[in-house]
A and B are shown apart, each in its own frame.
Chain A
Amino acid sequence: MINKAFLRKELMEYLKTSKFIILIILFAFFAILSPVLAKYINELLKLLSTDLAIVLPEPTYVDAWLQFYKNMTSLCLIVFMIIVTGTVAQEKNKGSIMLVLTKKVSRFDFIFSKFLAGIIIYTIVLIVSLLLSIAYTYLLFDQFAYDGLIISLVLLWLMGIFYMTLALFTSVIAKTPTIAALLGFVGYALFNLLNIANSIQKFNPAGASSLLNQILVGASTNTDNIICLIATSLGIVVVYTITYMIFRKQEI
């Protein structure tokens, strides 16, 4: 069993510092913005250029989801990652880690609590934004469900956890919180870059960010989805294990 008091402190820290409020506002904002933007993008473009020649197709709920996935996997995720990159690096920087690790908190307790707290917080903000986005999509388009919605959401959730684990990794290896944040961003960019090649996308732990769009338009097979799901889960386990192995032997 892990040290529950430390996990509780991790969760309280998200609440008592502004981290949680920033995340929930940011995620909720984009969750609502996505369907709204999808619905009124044409009107907006028309307003901006009076002599618009091209005829834009009428937006559907699919556009709302496209927007939602795009926002959830870019800015929102990056902000969440940056927040997580501070979690170990800041404790080292301030020295608070030493007081905790010399009490009954093992290195495993420490890192696993941070991992777990990250999952819990991410899951909460994701569910809230999902519910908001579904509500607005339904309101504006009278429809929101599509084939593969469930697997898409699972993939989205897992990919977020993968990036959070990656952020935890950079937080452990970096000497300062700033370097950790930079490394986290580089990590995000690198894994995103792997999605350029269509053929390896499904093997990429961060493959979901493009696979989600393909599932939405029915261009992805079930097998590919499962492969991606396994790749992402494996990515989480591998990155977490490496992080723990390094942290276990680290000199504080």
Chain B
Amino acid sequence: MAKTAVKISNLTKVFDDLVAVDKLSLSVPEGAIYGFLGPNGAGKTTTLKMVVGMTEPTSGEIEVYGNKLTFGSHKFREDIGFLPDVPGFYDWMTAKEYLKFAGSLYNIPNTVLKDRIRDLLQTVGLTKSQNKKVGGFSRGMKQRLGIAQALINNPKIVILDEPVSALDPIGRKEVMDIIASLAGKVTVFFSSHILADVERVCDHVIIIKDGRNMLEDSVENIRNLSKSREMEMEFENDEAKSFQDSIKNSGWVEKLDIEGKKAKIKVNDLDNARVEINKWICQNNIMLKKYIVAEPTLEDIFIKVVNGND
């Protein structure tokens, strides 16, 4: 059995009269890339801040490698690397100077630190910009420097709060690749509100909403859930009705709404649905005005999860 790196039990955080985190329990297995999903305001940042000791829990427990964490304690600093949602640096330092500073806070010997900084700059792709002042860095560069500083102490657990949310698609892919490359070396516990990012690199996922656990599972299972998709079609002529008749008995139809020339379909097997719909379109010489397959959203999965649990 794999050890548990981070275990959270009944964690609760109340701000005035708002319950930001509500009796949340989860466990991050050692060596996992663990995705922490939830829409904005779900309580991800608050939870992670409690884990790194920046915010005091109202109640509940946090354990790191089986040892209880108390607010204000310094015990796990060596084991954890942290990247907050908006990492702030000192503008007057260069990237390399910042990493040197970060390393010196842990009393890492200079010779070790020098090599590690070189490797980390390489990993996050900042070797060329290492002597530039951080003040002039783009959001993506800061994010990458943020990942490097979170790894400077060679931590066993890396906690990343929305490491890619503020980035453009290319930056997002680059940073996700860096995270994926950490697999097997460290335990990664990271939050996001973008499902696609998490799907690709994580092996375990928890979905929270309003501070509560909606679903904690392996990515494989979650993926199956996201096979359920919505499609939208608009016909050039009045063929919606005959479309309805021809597909309504197919196994993959979950829900079908017809409105004039428009059809809205919810399917539970996208691949099959598309093949069969295309066949019908060809056979009947149908002209389409619109044919949309909606991206799976976290919201869809929530609905699915919540309904399924009822």
Q: Interface residues, chain A, CB within 8 Å of chain B? A: 3, 5-6, 8-9, 13, 16-17, 91, 94-107, 248-249, 251-252
Contact = CB atoms under 8 A, between A and B. Distances in A.
A94 B89 CA distance: 7
Interface of B: 49, 52-56, 72, 74, 77-78, 80, 82, 84, 86-90, 92-93, 101-102, 104-107, 146, 149, 153
B105 A102 contact: no
A103 B92 CA distance: 20
Given A5-B104, A103-B77, A104-B105, A96 B82 contact: no
Given A103-B153, A104-B106, A105-B105, A91 B88 contact: yes
Contacts, number: 71
Given A3-B105, A5-B104, A102 B53 contact: yes
Contact of B105 (A5, A248, A249): A5
A249 B84 CA distance: 19
A107 B80 CA distance: 17
A99 B84 contact: yes
B72 A95 contact: no
A17 B106 CA distance: 25
A249 B56 contact: yes
A99 B87 contact: yes
Nearest to A101: B54
Given A96-B89, A98-B84, A99-B149, A104 B54 contact: no
Nearest to B92: A16
Nearest to A17: B92
Contacts of A251: 49, 54-56
Contact of B107 (A95, A100, A104, A106): A104
6 contacts: A94-B89, A95-B87, A102-B54, A104-B74, A104-B106, A251-B55
Given A8-B104, A103-B77, 10 more contacts: A5-B104, A13-B90, A17-B92, A98-B84, A99-B84, A99-B102, A104-B74, A104-B105, A249-B56, A251-B55
A234 B29 CA distance: 52
